[in-house]
Amino acid sequence: MIRFVLSQRPDGADVATCDAYAAASRNGATMALARQLVAPGFPDQPVEAVGTDGRIRFTAPSLHRLAQWTVIERDRGGIAFERYQRNPHAVTRPTMPDGAERQTATEITPTG
């Protein structure tokens, strides 16, 4: 079983973390995190999501099935679950749990 820890940023976004992975979203942070874990090949296993207080918030029987869904906000209010379809034009940046962008190493070439 894999464990997600759920919290909330000051701006109201939900944050789901697991080891060095994190996903933040107004809705569906746990599903976004599941997609991050499935992409590099994490094996399918049950998921347990807990709050920062350690209390279980929900469980899911399959990490891979959780990754196939997302949460959408309806125009007339409320939310719904929908099959996830990656937007081919989306630009995503890895984020830290506090909302800061994760820094990636870059090579600096001296000039002159």
Give domain status of residue 90, yes or no. Answer: no
Q: What is the DSSP string of 67-96?
A: HTEEEEE-TTS-EEEEE----TT-----B-
**Domain total of the chain:** 1
Render each residue's pLDDT in the chain as its tens digit; 112 residues.
Answer: 999 999 999 999 999 999 999 999 888 999 999 999 999 999 999 999 999 999 999 999 999 999 999 888 888 888 888 888 776 665 555 555 555 554 443 344 444 4
The tokens of 26 are what?
A: 């107004």
pTM: 0.74
Give domain status of residue 105, yes or no. Answer: no
Give domain status of residue 70, yes or no. Answer: yes
Candidates 69, 64, 58; CA nearest to 40 is: 64
Q: Which domain holds residue 69?
A: 2-83
Please, what sign has the CA dihedral across residues 49, 55, 57, 62? positive
